[in-house]
Amino acid sequence: MPTEQKRNRRPSAADVVDVFVYVVVLNLAAEYLPLVITETFTMSLLTSVLLKAVLEVVVAIKDRIKVRMKASTTAFGKVTSALLLWLTLVGSKFVVLELVAFFFGESVKLGGFWSVTALILVLMLARAGVRRLLAQPVEQQT
């Protein structure tokens, strides 16, 4: 996709659905996990938008690293790529925690590293499940 199109990209229907799924998961987590706190629905909605943005960036970085890893022909290149992938996956949790603290202060808490890791896993699974549920059925050939 050309650079100009990336900057002017409008959210797709899938992006909006993802945010709604994230809101549901985040509010369920806030209801059932004492470490997760969102004081208002508006805060959970804004947090979901932030999570959507961060997770899209992390997935894009992860995908680039995976391409680099597959393209590597040396053991050093593969190990370096694997280390970068690990650092991205672990570091992204800390980035999420810091961004939430920066933007929302005491109004939103996602717990610590393990609770945010579990939350992100559930977010990604719920997103995949809803996308699969809403996907257009493949026309069967007869």
C-beta of residue 109 within 8 angstroms of C-beta of residue 136: no
pLDDT band at 12 (very low <50, low <70, confident <90, very high): confident
The predicted pLDDT at position 136 comes to: 74
Would you kindly state where each structural domain of the chain is located, as residue ranges? Answer: 13-131
Contacts of 41 (CB under 8 A, 6+ apart): 27
Q: pLDDT category, 43, cuts 50, 70, 90?
A: very high
**What's the whole-number average pLDDT of the chain?**
89
How far CA 129 is from CA of 55, 83, 125, 134, in Å, comes to 16, 29, 6, 9
At residue 134 the predicted structure's pLDDT band, cuts being 50, 70 and 90, is: confident
Predicted TM-score of the model (pTM)? 0.82
